[in-house]
Amino acid sequence: MWPESIYTVGGAGTATTGPLAFLGAEWIEVYRSLALPVRAGGQFLTAALLALLVLGLVQGYGSRSVQTARRSPVISICIGLPTALVVASLAGTGYLISGESVGVFFGIPLVVLGLATLPPLSAVGLVAIGQSIAARVGDDRLCTGVLVGSLLAGAAGGALEATVALTVLAAALGVGAGARTLFAARGSTRPDERTVPPANKI
């Protein structure tokens, strides 16, 4: 059952309905019970550490994904939004069935898949958003994108709706750009499939 605090009693309840209900009422209440500085600081530190970790471990792939997201954000979002929804659905399904005796073998891999893709690629999308904003003032360095994106994540901590919107946007942008970068890299490693200019043909 849901906690008693989410039910409306005499018109003074804190019922959670609408598009945020899928997050789970208990987690929403815990999030909203935190002080604003705690939410903002926690989201800033989480975004900064995750972005630095991803871009540090996979420097080439991470930076290329950020460039792809900035170069064609609409295409990246169109590809990344449905892909992110599918991955999130699979991870959620895996979490639900992981409590079953047989579901452990199928649920844990799905959860691992979601954790290995969505948070890192969401960080890539957030860095791309931050770098695009920083480029407006003449500084498009990758480190500046990490800082601005983390500040944006911290500022979104003022409202749960803003946090969800920013997370969805960053996830869609990052997943789409990451998928495009991955397939582009695979295609460029096949010399027999490269297009040769007519003047250079033998």
- Tell me the three state secondary structure of residue 124: helix
User: Does residue 88 sit within a domain?
Assistant: yes
User: Does residue 156 sit within a domain?
Assistant: yes
* CA 34 to mean position of chain CA atoms: 22
In contact, 112 and 40? CB cutoff 8 Å: no
User: Does residue 47 sit within a domain?
Assistant: yes
Range of the domain at 137: 19-188
Burial 77-98 (b: 16+ CB within 10 A, else e): bebbbebbeebbebbebbeebb
* CA 24 to mean position of chain CA atoms: 19
Comparison of pLDDT for 11 and 169, the residue scoring more: 169
At 105, the pLDDT band (50, 70, 90 cuts) reads: confident
| pLDDT, tens only, 153-202 | 999 998 989 999 999 999 999 999 999 998 886 655 444 444 545 554 44
- H-helix segments, 136-159: 142-155
Instruction: Identify the pLDDT of residue 80.
Output: 95
| pLDDT at residue 8 greater than cutoff 80 | no
Angstrom CA distances, 123 to 5, 183, 187, stand at 33, 19, 25
* CA 56 to mean position of chain CA atoms: 17
User: Does residue 75 sit within a domain?
Assistant: yes
pTM score, two decimals?
Answer: 0.77
User: Dihedral of the CA atoms 78, 81, 87, 89 (nearest 10)?
Assistant: -130
User: Does residue 4 sit within a domain?
Assistant: no
User: Does residue 3 sit within a domain?
Assistant: no
Instruction: Identify the pLDDT of residue 32.
Output: 85
Q: What residues have CB less than 8 Å from 53, skipping those under 6 apart?
A: 123
How many independent structural domains does the chain possess? 1
